[in-house]
Each structure stands twice: as C-alpha cells, then as structure tokens.
A and B are shown apart, each in its own frame.
Chain A
Amino acid sequence: MPRLDRLSELQRKASLAYPCLLNDSAPFTHMARPLSAARLALVTTAGIHVRGDAPFTGRDQSFRVIPAETPPADIVQSHASIGFDRTAFQRDINVVFPMDRVHELVERRELGSLSPKYYSFMGAQYPPYDGLQQDTGPQVARQLRADGVEVVFLTGT
C-alpha cells in the first residue's frame, strides 16, 4: 500500500488507529535449504476461495484451501470493501495471488517446487486474533509442513 502521506486524512487516520498487535521481537526459522531447492506455498489474506466454497464473512478467522492447480476462473473473492481497489484482482489474479509467477520461478530454477495446496484467510481482521493464533493458523502450518513446505509467501490486499 500506499505510504500514508498519500492517502486522504480519513483513510490515514483509520489506518493509524487500527488496533494492531504490538510485538517486541519476531520468531525465526532457519531455512535448511536454499530457495532453489525449497518448496513454497502461497498464503493470502485477500479473502479469495474456490468458487462454490463458503464465502468469508467479516472478521472471519477460518481458512479455505486452494488447490495449487485451480484455474483462476474458479477462484472468487468474498473480501470486498471500499478500502481497496478490486479491479486489479479482476484484471489479473497474479497482482494479489501470484500463481503464475511462482510457476515461472520454478521453471527458472529460482524456486525448488510448489506446495500442492495454497491457503486463504479473510482480510481486515480485528482483535482478538485468538482463532488465527491458536487454531486456524497452527492448523494451516501443520498442513503445510505435512506437504513438505519450507517457505511461505504471504500477501494481503
């Protein structure tokens, strides 16, 4: 996003007032292999999912599985808001969820391989984040590891 000085006063104030978690440090996992040998998964908080799956609702902390080979035509987005432009996603899924780009990086041997499954969560979350931290986040982490994933690339919208 934008630097806050390029937003309207209303949008800037809303962003600054957002009740983020405050942390003093970050967890760290050492990569055992170089990226060119590692398996990567995409995870997004853009609220996208396979057409026909249950839509997300506001502040929903559940997740949806997106099989990696899902055609873009079968992916919809139930996250919609006046807070972000959706026409970019409508024109090209890769601007939010770079499914084609990661394939190209594998072909160029910059990435080792791709997870068979990607994951999506709802955006614009609001505290408490207990569901994400204690339930759905760890569930997805375990599923990713079971699929041999070592690296996760996260996008919002």
Chain B
Amino acid sequence: MGVLARVFEEHGLATTSISLVREHTEKVKPPRALFVPFPFGHPLGEANAPDVQTRVMRAALALLDESDVPVLVDYPEDIYSGQDIDLVQASGVTRPDHSIDVAFEVTSLRPYYEQWVASHAGRTAVGVTRVDQRRFRGLVRVLEAYAADRDIDVPEWNTDVPLPQFVRWAADDLKAFYLEARMQQKPGDSFQELNTWLWSQTALSNLLRSVRDRMRSQGDPKLDYLAIGIAR
C-alpha cells in the first residue's frame, strides 16, 4: 500500500494511509501514514463502531496538514489493550476429533447463514467461487476429492479456473459461510472466539487441514503459496 501512496503522490495526489505494520512503513516511506495498534483485518479499529472509525479517519486525515514528509504517527488509542490480537490459527488449537460429515455440517449451518444474509441487507463475503451457497455440498466434494487425490467430476468446478485456485476459493467461500452462520448464532463472539470455533470445533477445519497438506506435498512453490492461505 505504501508503494501505491508514493505513486499517487508522484502523480499530484495528496495521500494519507493507515499503517498496519510500522516496521514496513518505516522502510517504504509513504508520504503520510497513521500507525494503528489493531489486529490484522481491522485497519479502522473495530466493526460496527462508527465513532472509533471516524476518530481513526480524522487522525489520518489530519496528517494532510504535514508538509515535512515522510510522516509516520502512532494512533494513541489502543482499543485492544490487554487482549490477544494474534489471530488464532489451526495449529494453535486442538483439532476436533469428531467425524461429522462436512456436507451435513454445511446443511446444518445453512439456516443461520441465510438469516445472516437476510439481516444484513443481502451482504455476505461468500461468493468468490460464484457457486450458489445452496450448492456448497458440491464445493465440499471438490475439496474432499482434492485432498484424497481423486478425480474431480462435479459441476461446481468451473474448469476455466485452474483446480488449485478453485480449491483455494472454495476453501475461502466455505470459511466465509461458516463464520457468517456462526456470527448469526453467536453475535457477541469476538473474532478470536469465532476463529477458535472454526479451527477447533468444525469438521470443515479438518478437511481444510487435509487440503493444505495435499497442496504442500507437491513441492510446488505456487501451491505452497495457495496452501498457506488455507490453514496454518
């Protein structure tokens, strides 16, 4: 992002940005940046907290008054003080030992997912595969076949997309579906509680671990790159 800020400024636009890693911003030197001590994925602080978001924005916009660049300022308000903000990972929790069928799990979560979408004016992060969520059992079959190194013959796979990329998007869509269903069930859960649930309580998490392992077993750096985004 710092690279883009520099390009824009070189082309006659004044820029200000949110820095997520101070050490990176110190190296790249965008003209003006506000470093925020928030978790990755929360650059303006907190979801559904407009006052916090506005305060962060105003602090970043105030840097436009600075003419001695680069300027990198620390945002003073640590709204996550005392909390663990290092995102929970698959390797950081005990994996579930049950053997619920993932397709069954998807079906059981569907009513909650649909309630989530209905109560958020149709908004959902699901959709990168372009497969309708009512056909997500097909996405599960794609992941299961990929993990087991079996031929994949399901209509949900758009063969214009290379299989590993489609597998990655299927994993991302299923995660988004699960997390939105869970947020509908447990609206007060923190992001850490939600991610802990995903990795320690769901059958999907074991399937995602298997998909990751199969990708990484190929010895191909491009597949390693896709795999690291699925589970760690």
Which residues on A are within 8 Å of B, measured CB to CB? 1-4, 6-8, 11, 15-16, 18, 20-31, 35, 38, 43, 45, 51-52, 55, 57-58, 71-73, 76-78, 80-96, 98, 100-102, 104-105, 110-111, 121, 123, 125, 129, 132-133, 137-138, 140-142, 144-145, 149-157
Contacting residues, chain B, for A95 (C-beta < 8 A)? 41-47, 49, 53
B87 x A82 contact (CB < 8 A): yes
Task: Indicate with 1 or 0, residue by residue over B68-92, a CB within 8 angstroms of chain A CB atoms.
Answer: 0110000000000000111101101
What is the bound-complex CA distance between A129 and B160, given in angstroms? 27
CB neighbours of B226 from chain A (8 A): 58
When C-beta atoms are compared, the residue in chain A nearest to B230 turns out to be: A82
Which of the 9-residue segments B101-109, B132-140, B144-152, B176-184 touches chain A? B176-184
B195 touches A87 (CB 8 A): yes
A29, B12: Cβ atoms under 8 Å?
yes
Q: How far, in Å, is B130 (CB) from chain A's closest CB? A: 8
- State A83–B4 Cα separation when bound (angstroms): 21
From known contacts A29-B13, A151-B16, infer whether A51 and B48 are also in contact, taking CB-CB under 8 Å.
no
User: Cβ of B67 < 8 Å from any Cβ of A?
Assistant: yes
Given the known interface contacts A73-B123, A95-B42, the answer about A27 and B4 at a Cβ–Cβ threshold of 8 Å is no
The chain A residue with its CB closest to the CB of B5 is A154
Is the beta-carbon distance between B14 and A85 smaller than 8 angstroms? no
- B residues adjacent to A (C-beta < 8 A): 1-18, 20-24, 27-31, 36-50, 53-54, 57-58, 60-61, 64, 67, 69-70, 84-87, 89-90, 92, 120-128, 130, 165, 169, 172, 175-176, 179-180, 183, 191, 194-195, 225-226, 228-232
**Among A87, A101, A140, which residue has its beta carbon within 8 angstroms of that of B194?**
A87
- A7 to B40 Cα, complex, angstroms: 10
**Residue on A nearest B120 in the bound complex, by CB:** A73
B86 touches A11 (CB 8 A): yes
| A151 and B15 in contact, given A11-B86, A129-B3 (Cβ under 8 angstroms) | yes
CB of B183 within 8 A of CB of A154, answer: no
A46: shortest Cβ distance to chain B, in Å? 8
Contact residue among A25, A45, A151 (Cβ-Cβ distance under 8 Å from B29): A25
A121–B125 Cα gap in the complex (Å)? 17
Which one of A85, A101, A111, A151 lies within 8 Å of B50 (CB-CB)? Answer: A101
Q: How far is the CB of A52 from chain B (nearest CB, A)?
A: 8
Please indicate the chain A residues that have their CB under 8 angstroms from the CB of B9 in the complex.
Answer: 26-29
> Which of chain A's residues has its CB closest to B11's CB?
A141
Q: Considering the chains assembled together, what is the distance between the CA atoms of A14 and B7 in angstroms?
A: 26
What is the CB-to-nearest-CB distance from A34 to chain B, in angstroms, rounded to a whole number? 9
Q: Output the least CB separation between A53 and chain B (Å).
A: 11
Q: Is the CB of B50 within 8 A of A100?
A: yes
Q: Which of B40, B43, B64, B67 contacts A83 (CB 8 A)?
A: B40
Interchain CB contact under 8 A, B169 and A137: no
B232 touches A82 (CB 8 A): yes
Q: What is the chain A residue whose CB lies nearest that of B32? A: A26
Q: Nearest Cβ in chain B — how far from A147, in angstroms?
A: 11
A1 in complex: contacting residue of B36, B225, B228, CB < 8 Å: B36
Chain A residues near B37 (CB, 8 Å)? 1-3, 6
Residue of A20, A28, A82 with highest tally of chain B CB at under 10 A: A82
Q: Please name all residues of chain A whose beta carbon is closer than 8 Å to the beta carbon of B4 when the two chains form the complex.
A: 43, 45, 121, 132, 137, 140, 154
In angstroms, Cα B61 to Cα A111, docked, is: 10
Contact across chains for B13 and A91 when beta carbons are under 8 A apart: no
The complex places the Cα of A121 from the Cα of B124 at a distance, in Å, of 20
Contact B53–A6 (Cβ < 8 Å): no
Residues from chain A with Cβ under 8 Å of B175 in the complex: 80, 86
